[in-house]
């Protein structure tokens, strides 16, 4: 006889349906929508920045996009971390870069370019036109013999720069003529020197320009600093045959703590007391403090302001080696970065410093060592700090040299349309290789 299977007489539990509150669903939907919209906006705006990158590396493109979208303070912090923990300079050592620039300057020249040739009279200097701010050759005299010193007004390069290290490398701090000559006279010299006695593996490269043989021209970028843009950020091609040198301008206008004037338009009001570089319609140039050394006159073509003077009356205005943040929001404490500055000597000549692994203190000391009486900080960081000079071959072709060989990419960026501003220097008398 079989037994009946046991039965469970307990009542079945009722499963309660989980209640979903409509508010949570709406919140989740709203967050998802915002994130999707943010991703679309980021992709759309970044595409525009990328398309307008001028060959910039990815990290520069990203930093530019962030600054364009009001994330400058975050970029500054990220770059500070980069310079503090990633791109750290060596301590001690000797430079791998040579202080002798002879080979760099002669690269690409043919033997006939190095042969002396009869020089035209400096009275026939090529005028560059009032619209460019450059002038014709202003010195008179007979055509000189190639074997004699040309009769043309010019300036002498400053004394050698004293190295901060006890045993300088060969040619360290010595001014060496570079680029094409103007009326038979070297119009530019380069010197390389250590900026401090700690990071001795690196040189600061310094370019000196004779302002009696070269006229200055300011080219606004097609994005920065804004305002009139008559050249689309490029040096007009009809001026390429007389270009001697060009280098980067100042910070983005919103970060400059100063104003900007160009071609009769006050793009942003000028600020008394700020460092200013003024380019005049006749091609002359001055660096000084606005309201004290410089004021608005009818003969001004451009005024570019950037922070305060880093050198004033021949003295560094950097209060201590850790005073970096005053001279560029990117760096803090003792981090070293690509930095640049323009200075003016007592005789009116111009110097430009543009190199990696420079502190604000090192930049200022190098400018002072080269003889600057007043100096203004220019743009900083990898890519934005860039200086170039040129040799013109007898066949008319143009050879470009980087002031520091580690400047990224090619060295013709300021000849072609470019988003940032540049200072250009043009020969005001006939050139020879």
Give tens-digit pLDDT for 216-272.
999 999 999 999 999 999 999 999 999 999 999 999 999 999 999 999 999 999 999
pLDDT confidence of residue 398 = 95
Give the whole-number percent of the chain exceeding pLDDT 90: 62
Is residue 422 within 8 Å of residue 247, measured between CB atoms?
A: yes
Structure tokens at 418: 């470019």
pLDDT confidence of residue 137 = 33
* Cα 150 to Cα 121: distance, rounded to the nearest angstrom: 9
Residue 10 has pLDDT above 90, yes or no: no
pLDDT confidence of residue 329 = 54
Question: CB under 8 Å to 347, separation ≥6 — which residues?
Answer: 155
44-78: b (≥16 Cβ within 10 Å) or e: eebeebeeeebebeeebbbbbbbbeeeebeebbeb
pLDDT confidence of residue 134 = 42
Q: What are the pLDDT digits (tens) for 41-92?
A: 556 566 655 566 666 666 666 656 666 666 666 656 666 676 666 767 889 9
Average pLDDT of the chain to the nearest whole number: 83
pLDDT confidence of residue 135 = 37
At 361, the pLDDT band (50, 70, 90 cuts) reads: very high
According to DSSP, the residues that pair with 181 across neighbouring strands are 186, 432
DSSP class per residue in 196-230: SSSSTT-PEEEEEE-TTTEEEEEE--SSSS-S--T
At 113, the pLDDT band (50, 70, 90 cuts) reads: confident
- Locate tokens 């090619």: which residue? 410
Task: Please give the average per-residue pLDDT across 19-33, as a whole number.
Answer: 69
Neighbours of 208 (CB within 10 A): 24
What is residue 14's DSSP assignment? P
Residue 2 has pLDDT above 50, yes or no: no
Q: What are the pLDDT digits (tens) for 127-137?
A: 333 333 443 33
Structure tokens at 278: 């003024």
Residue 142 has pLDDT above 50, yes or no: no
The ranges assigned to domains in the chain are: 24-86, 102-432
pLDDT confidence of residue 25 = 74
Neighbours of 142 (CB within 10 A): 10
111-141: b (≥16 Cβ within 10 Å) or e: eebeeeeebbbbbebbebeeebbbbbbbbee
Q: What are the pLDDT digits (tens) for 150-167?
A: 568 999 999 999 999 999
Q: What are the pLDDT digits (tens) for 195-224?
A: 999 999 999 999 999 999 999 999 999 999
Cis amide leading into 309 (omega within 30): no
Is residue 61 within 8 Å of residue 53, measured between CB atoms?
A: yes
């Amino acid at each position: 006889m079989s037994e009946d299977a046991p039965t469970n007489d307990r009542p079945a539990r009722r499963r309660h349906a989980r209640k979903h509150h409509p508010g949570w669903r709406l919140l989740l939907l709203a967050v998802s929508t915002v994130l999707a919209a943010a991703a679309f906006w980021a992709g759309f705006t970044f595409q525009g920045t990328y398309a307008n990158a001028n060959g910039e590396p990815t990290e520069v493109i990203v930093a530019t996009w962030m600054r364009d979208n009001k994330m400058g303070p975050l970029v500054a912090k990220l770059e500070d971390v980069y310079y503090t923990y990633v791109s750290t300079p060596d301590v001690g050592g000797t430079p791998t870069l040579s202080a002798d620039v002879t080979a760099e300057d002669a690269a690409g020249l043919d033997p006939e370019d190095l042969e002396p040739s009869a020089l035209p009279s400096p009275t026939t200097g090529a005028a560059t036109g009032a619209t460019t701010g450059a002038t014709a050759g202003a010195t008179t005299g007979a055509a000189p013999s190639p074997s004699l010193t040309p009769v043309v007004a010019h300036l002498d390069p400053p004394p050698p720069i004293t190295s901060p290290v006890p045993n300088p490398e060969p040619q360290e701090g010595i001014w060496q003529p570079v680029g094409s000559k103007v009326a038979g006279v070297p119009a530019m010299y380069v010197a390389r020197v250590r900026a401090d006695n700690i990071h001795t593996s690196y040189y600061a490269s310094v370019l000196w320009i004779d302002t009696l043989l070269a006229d200055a021209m300011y080219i606004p970028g097609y994005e920065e600093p804004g305002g009139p843009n008559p050249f689309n950020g490029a040096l007009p091609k009809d001026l390429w045959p007389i270009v001697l040198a060009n280098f980067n301008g100042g910070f983005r206008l919103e970060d400059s703590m100063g104003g900007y004037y160009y071609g009769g338009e006050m793009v942003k009001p000028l600020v008394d007391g700020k460092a200013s570089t003024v380019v005049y319609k006749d091609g002359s140039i001055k660096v000084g403090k606005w309201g004290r050394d410089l004021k608005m006159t009818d003969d001004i073509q451009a005024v570019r302001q950037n922070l305060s003077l880093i050198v004033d009356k021949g003295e560094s205005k950097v209060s201590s080696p850790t005073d970096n943040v005053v001279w560029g929001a990117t760096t803090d404490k003792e981090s070293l970065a690509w930095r640049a500055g323009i200075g003016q000597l007592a005789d009116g000549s111009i110097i430009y410093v543009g190199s990696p692994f420079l502190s604000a203190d090192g930049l200022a000391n190098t400018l002072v060592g080269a003889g600057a009486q007043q100096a203004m900080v220019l743009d900083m960081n990898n890519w934005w700090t860039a200086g170039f000079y040129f040799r013109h071959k007898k066949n008319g072709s143009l050879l470009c040299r980087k002031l520091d060989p580690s400047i990224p990419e090619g060295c013709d960026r300021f000849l072609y349309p470019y988003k940032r501003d540049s200072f250009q220097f043009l020969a005001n008398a006939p050139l020879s290789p």
